[in-house]
Amino acid sequence: MTRSAAGARTQQEQMRRRNLSEVLRRVHKDGAVSRAALSRRMGLNRSTIMDLTAELAAAGLVREGVPAGQGRAGRPSIVVMPERATVYGLAFDVAVDRLLAARVGLGGQVLERREAVRARAGVDLENVVDVLAAFGRELVAGADPGALCVGVGASYCGLIRRADGTVRYGPHLGWVDQAFGAKLAAGLGLGLPVEVGNEAHLGAIAEHVRGAGRDVDNLIYLHGDVGVGGGIIVGGRLLDGDSGYGCELGHMLVNPFDGRPCLCGSRGCLEAEVGEKALLDYAGRSDDLIGRAGIQAVVALAETGEARARDALDRVGDWLGVGVVNLINLFNPALVVFGGMLRDVYPGAASRVRARIDAHVLPVSRERVLLAVTALGDDTTLAGAAELAFAELLDDPLHTLATVR
């Protein structure tokens, strides 16, 4: 074979890998998709698509068949479906006040889950890893015989160095430079690395893949926990910055000279003005209910018209509006999604947020933008962690499979 023939062969193989990746990605995202639709959407002819889906089926990643409810009238349309029971990922979520773990099938369905509520203070790396690793082992033990774990993803409420899953900065749990990913991988003992991501980054990915932002290539996800984080999808990809610490929307300086102190050491950050503590302080409820329950109590009171709760929600709405205005002027997104505790807060604060947008956003950027709460309930960040777990498989299906088997 001449050198350039070898080059052409290599290029053809690269192309085939890319096409396998693309087919599996679509099946994972859309759940069940016909070969005709794949052919149309990928611009490849039917026989090429058949070869590709056959190869993925032979590898045990997809299955071809007639979807339930079809096959009676007319010619049934054959669809390609993910092998969700036998190809799975483990997803973990470390939020400020709970730990979550799930076995998630290819295609994104949660097959089994574990959850632990925990005290906020004094939660060190070792305890968190012990709880999660035990959950993980149970979830693996509960899988079908012969099922294959293809990856592990974890969401954490802090700044993450993606390369090795180190938590660089997680003020709410008091973590600085903790080797979370490596320790969890060791605790699980599956011989798989644990990919760790920032919770709001992962939330944005989940909304984009299977939430309110399906098929929306420019969106912003705002996640409220105790703090406020953000994930920004630009042109279909997560904006993660030069070293993975982008999208720190919570530390946008909205009140530069008169702001409330923020856990990060600064003042007037968005998080300091609209986070849990701000809302509870404004509502005069700092000493009783805290956390999600506290937030929901204030929102419920505001709905009944209680003045102080109403005022608290309005103030949060004003500052949230300033933040959203800046984000829209900077990013010209098609959609802004609110998740975590902001899912509870946003509906009652929406009129204030919209008033700010009307007053301050450039008309051209205002004309199309939509605002919505997450479509994934309280599982937004967990769903994002599952996407991390599947990322390598989706990038190069057969090679990854050979590695993890």
Site residues for a second copy per CB under 8 A: 3-4, 7-8, 11-12, 15, 44-45, 47-48, 51, 159, 168-169, 217-218, 230, 232, 234-235, 237, 239-249, 251-256, 264, 266-267, 269, 322, 325-327, 329-334, 359-365, 367-369
CA distance 247 to 158: 12
- Per DSSP, the three-state class of 220 is strand
Distance in Å, CB of 54 to a second copy, minimum: 13
Q: Is residue 245 within 8 Å of residue 360, measured between CB atoms?
A: no
Residue type, 223: H
In the complex, minimum distance from the CB of residue 325 to a second copy, in angstroms, rounded to a whole number? 5
Tokens for 261? 């102190």
Nearer to a second copy, 53 or 326 (CB): 326
**Smallest distance from the beta carbon of 332 to a second copy, in angstroms?**
3
We find the least distance from the C-beta atom of residue 268 to a second copy, in angstroms, to be 8
Cβ-based nearer residue to a second copy, 32 or 253: 253
CB-wise, 106 or 247, nearer to a second copy?
A: 247
For residue 20, give the 3-state DSSP assignment: helix
Please say which residue, 192 or 238, places its beta carbon nearer to a second copy: 238
- Work out how close the CB of 21 gets to a second copy at its nearest, in angstroms, rounded to a whole number: 15
Closer to a second copy by Cβ: residue 3 or 75: 3
Instruction: Read off the tokens for 15.
Output: 């192309």
CA gap 84, 104 in Å, rounded: 8
DSSP state at residue 296: H
Q: What are phi and psi of 93, to 5 degrees?
A: -140, 115
Which residues are within 8 A (CB) of 174 and not within 5 positions of it... i.e. 6 or more apart?
A: 121, 123
Instruction: Pick between residue 44 and residue 110 the one whose CB is nearest to a second copy.
Output: 44
CB of 388 to a second copy, least distance (A): 18
Q: Which is nearer to a second copy, 119 or 359 (CB)?
A: 359
Q: Minimum Å distance from CB 286 to a second copy?
A: 24
The radius of gyration of the chain from alpha carbons, rounded to an integer in Å, stands at 23
Rounded Cα distance, 340 and 100, in Å: 14
Residue 320's Cβ-count burial label (10 Å; 0-12, 13-18, 19+) is buried
Q: Between 36 and 362, name the residue whose CB sits nearer to a second copy.
A: 362
Let me know: does 270 contact 250? Beta carbons within 8 Å: yes
Shortest distance, position 240 Cβ to a second copy, whole Å: 7
Nearest to 197 by CA among 184, 214, 212, 213: 184
Between residues 24 and 254, which has the closer beta carbon with respect to a second copy? 254
Q: How far apart are CA 326 and CA 267, in angstroms?
A: 18
Write out 354-383 in H/E/C secondary structure: HHHHHHHCCHHHHCCCEEEECCCHHHHHHH
As measured in angstroms, the least distance from the Cβ of 324 to a second copy is 10
